[in-house]
Structure 1
Amino acid sequence: MNYERLIDEETWAFIKKTGECYPDDAVDLTIEQQREVYNAMAAEFRAARPDSVSCEDRLVGAVPVRIYTAGEPSCTVMFCHGGGFVVGGLDSHDDVCAELCAQTGYRVVAVDYRLSPEHLHPAAFEDAWAVCQWISASFDGDLVLAGDSAGANLCAAVAHHARGRLTGLVGQVLIYGAFGGDIDEGSYLEHAQAPMLTRDDLLFYGDIRRPDGAGDVPDPTMAPLSDSDFAGLPATVLVTADCDPVRDDSRHYRDKILAAGGKAHWINEPGLVHGYLRARHSVGRARDSFERISVAVEALGQGLWPYE
């Protein structure tokens, strides 16, 4: 794959800066070391919160959350962060959540779900589902799910589980998510050695989350693509980086929702790589994509579908 041709200079600068903070062989570090370098990398890219946004940390049961508000929100966004289910937390995506809040005017609730390997599946899913239920019971207005990478997986899992159990869930915006697709075909092979995320990284993160015996039967709370029923899901917008091994999971997920009669739209961003949300202030392509993400969140919260 000729990444020198596909990826522009701005994005290469972002990749280089990320690598200086978070090395390519980070999966060989101890879990504690991985979290240290990831947190340092996130801090290096973190932008200041917009002045219009206020936030509050609290507990939902035993799950820490951070609530962002700007004015009088008409809708709530539950945001689940990426990090392979191993790294990340409230601070790693603080600026992303604050900017989503400022740009949409919606309340954003970030979920600090339990991480692997200390807490294997379904711990992270249970935390996300608990917060989703709490949001539904605590705030007026509709609910939109949003997340990147591992967080996109959790949001999709919650959306599948919420059918028949929760009202008011009107949409989900899933950013470069891994949903349990076949790792021996498509983008998993085409971009097996992509910058920022490789197929081997995905195998590591998948194994470290999985309890012994998991995978013997389909489990949509771990791998949403393994569900047998894609009817009744909320309107879904999927956003991917083209140079990313998990890219095709979003295409397959869209196709399954459409085949079941639902609303789904896939935006594939050329020349971008996994984790590009951190590049939204330095890379034009990433900035434009983040704008599309914010527009999608806002539209779904208003019951609009601008993708026909």
Structure 2
Amino acid sequence: MTQRPSPYDRLLDAEIWAFVDRSRALYPDEATGFDPAGQRRIYDDLCQAFDAGRPEGVAVADSKIQGPSGCIPLRHYMPEAGTPHAMVLYLHGGGFVVGGLDSHDSICAELCQRTGFAVTAVDYRLAPEHVHPAQFEDALAAFLHVAGNDAIPVILCGDSAGGNLAATVAWATRNAAHRAKGQVLIYPALGNDVSTGTFVTHADAPMLSTADMVYYDEIRASGAPPTNDPAFTPLAAKDFRDMPPTVVFTAECDPLAGDGEPYCERIRDAGGKAICIEGHGLVHGYLRARHSSAKARESFSAMVKAISALGSDDWRY
């Protein structure tokens, strides 16, 4: 049996431990030591193992748009019944190194089916082959494309690295002609000091460690990460005025847990609407546990409600 270090032996319930154990068997803790191709191969296997399949009532089509350095693949999810009155632009997690359209396919399909909104997923360029600002540029290009070509409002959404990208795009377009209607960030990496807070108290949390975060930042930056670049680190921004309504979901047992509330505070201090919702007893990556854990299922339902509310101009927090 996998060793269960304190305090997680009492913070995590049996369903989350089963998720952690299965995930570790497929994607071991030392995976960041593999080369990028090896990381991507086992990450894809992990995602496939937890894939729930697309629900009925969702039509899917792929396309490409021209980005700043070549084509950017997109995947579009449309409800087969009804006309969506909002769109979700989804940016996948994976530390900017792994993941793509297939890794988060069922998540995007379920968001489409449960909200009734259109969903567009972005296959942005990955590090280390493409370093910052490549990921930000692709995310921004995809947002400007969908926001400029659809008459319906756009909600930015992403998990982990994708939450970082959603936040950077929301900031970059906050005063643009086409701005996000809202953003829902799922255990996002927003740039808090890794020597303090939850990066210390949860440095060796299951599913993601502080050392992993340092690795991902350095590989994305191809060296020392920039300290004052809001396109890399959302919390580095000086001006948070005019940010869209924001809902951040964090996991209690995650080094990134402490990123959410300071980010929301900055938005609220600038006159905006923002709330951070912590998932007690949850770990990084728990979206994949939404069909096997009651706590993860409840949090995913709260995300669906948040997206639905933002797309309907309904701030209910």
Fold shared per TM-score above 0.5: yes
CA apart distance, 1:212: 4.9
Which residue is 1:221 aligned to? 231
Which residue is 2:78 aligned to? 69
Note if contact 2:19-2:289 (Cα within 8 Å) is conserved in structure 1: yes
Which residue is 1:126 aligned to? 137
Equivalent residue of 1:202, what SS?
helix
Q: Find out whether 1:52 has 2:57 as its counterpart.
A: yes
Q: Find out whether 1:79 has 2:84 as its counterpart.
A: no
Note if contact 2:73-2:122 (Cα within 8 Å) is conserved in structure 1: yes
Which residue is 2:282 aligned to? 272
Q: Find out whether 1:289 has 2:299 as its counterpart.
A: yes
Equivalent residue of 1:178, what SS?
coil
Aligned-CA RMSD value: 1.0
Note if contact 2:148-2:178 (Cα within 8 Å) is conserved in structure 1: no
Which residue is 1:135 aligned to? 146
Aligned length: 306
Q: Percent identity?
A: 46
Alignment deviations for residues 5-46 of structure 1 (CA, whole Å, 9 cap, x no partner): 000000000001101110111001111100000000000000
Structure 2 distance, partners of 1:137, 1:170, is: 13
Which residue is 1:39 aligned to? 44
CA apart distance, 1:283: 0.3
CA apart distance, 1:302: 0.3
Q: Match for 1:19 among 16, 20, 24?
A: 24
Unpaired stretches in structure 2, ≥5 consecutive residues: 1-5
Note if contact 1:133-1:166 (Cα within 8 Å) is conserved in structure 2: no
CA apart distance, 1:166: 3.4
- Normalising by the residue count of structure 1, what TM-score does the alignment of the two structures yield? 0.98
Alignment deviations for residues 19-76 of structure 1 (CA, whole Å, 9 cap, x no partner): 1110111001111100000000000000111110011000011100000000311111
Structure 1 distance, partners of 2:178, 2:144, is: 10
Note if contact 1:69-1:107 (Cα within 8 Å) is conserved in structure 2: yes
Which residue is 1:111 aligned to? 122
Unpaired stretches in structure 1, ≥5 consecutive residues: none
CA apart distance, 1:294: 0.4
Alignment deviations for residues 193-224 of structure 1 (CA, whole Å, 9 cap, x no partner): 00000011011101000045651x51100001
Equivalent residue of 2:242, what SS?
coil
Q: Find out whether 1:303 has 2:313 as its counterpart.
A: yes
Give the 3 Å change call, closer, same or farther, for CA 212–166 of structure 1 in structure 2: farther
CA apart distance, 1:112: 0.3
- Normalising by the residue count of structure 2, what TM-score does the alignment of the two structures yield? 0.95
Give the 3 Å change call, closer, same or farther, for CA 240–213 of structure 1 in structure 2: closer
Structure 2 distance, partners of 1:14, 1:134, is: 37
Q: Find out whether 1:232 has 2:242 as its counterpart.
A: yes
Alignment deviations for residues 115-158 of structure 1 (CA, whole Å, 9 cap, x no partner): 00000000010000001011012211111000000000000000
Which residue is 1:247 aligned to? 257
